């Protein structure tokens, strides 16, 4: 069962990558209000139910995938 984990910087954290991308795009005359850069991790787990799979992925995310001081994440079922 496949899940995606979207990891983004917290709103209160300065997103230097997002700011650099935003400035580059604006410098090339693209119109945008803002840009934030994060990560997307796709995980395939051997789960019998969606709840079991989501719990497995949550444990993985809490263990190593994100830094709770500067990032937030959300899990979504894929496919």
Alpha helix stretches (DSSP H) within 3-75: 16-27, 50-60
| CA–CA dist 10, 20 (Å, integer) | 17
- pLDDT the model gives residue 79: 83
Going by pLDDT thresholds of 50, 70 and 90, the confidence category of residue 68 is very high
| pLDDT tens sequence across 10-66 | 999 999 999 999 999 999 999 999 999 999 999 999 999 999 999 999 999 999 999
Closest CA to 38 of 77, 78, 4: 4
Cα angle, residue 71 at apex, residues 67 and 74 outer, rounded to 5°: 105
The count of other CB atoms within 10 Å of the CB of residue 33 is: 5
- Top-confidence residue, 25 or 79: 25
Domains in the chain and their CATH numbers? 2-78 (3.30.1280.10)
Residue range 4-9: mean pLDDT, rounded? 98
């Amino acid at each position: 069962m496949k899940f995606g984990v979207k990891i983004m910087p917290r709103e209160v954290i300065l997103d230097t990558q997002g700011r650099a991308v935003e400035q580059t795009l604006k410098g090339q005359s693209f119109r945008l209000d803002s840009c934030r850069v994060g990560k997307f991790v796709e995980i395939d787990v051997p789960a019998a139910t969606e709840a079991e799979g989501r719990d497995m992925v949550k444990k993985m995310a809490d263990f190593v995938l994100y830094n709770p001081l500067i990032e937030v994440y959300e899990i979504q079922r894929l496919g």
